[in-house]
Structure 1
Amino acid sequence: MLSIMFYIAITAEAMTAALAAGRRNMDWFGVCLIACVTALGGGTTRDMFLAHYPLYWVANPYVLLLVCGAALLTVAIARLVDRLRWPFLLLDALGLVVFTIVGCNIGMEAGVHPIIVIVAGMVTGIVGGILRDVLCNDIPLVFQGELYATVSIVTGVVYYLGLLAGLPADIVVLIALAVGFPLRVAALVFKWEMPRFVFDREMRK
Structure 2
Amino acid sequence: EFAKEQGLKVAMAMLEESVEETMEDVLGIANGIRLRQQPREYKQKLIEDGTYDKWFDELYGTDQFHLYDSFAEAEVDRLLAKLHYMRTGLNCDVIILDHISIVVSASEESDERKMIDRLMTKLKGFAKSTGVVLIVICHLKNPEKGKAHEEGRAVSITDLRGSGSLRQLSDTIIALERNQQGDMPNLVLLRILKCRFNG
TM-score of the two chains, using structure 2 as the length reference: 0.29
Larger Rg: 2
Structure (1 or 2) with the greater helix fraction: 1
Q: Larger relative CO (CA 8 A, sep 6+): 1 or 2?
A: 1
- The structure with the largest strand share of the pair is 2
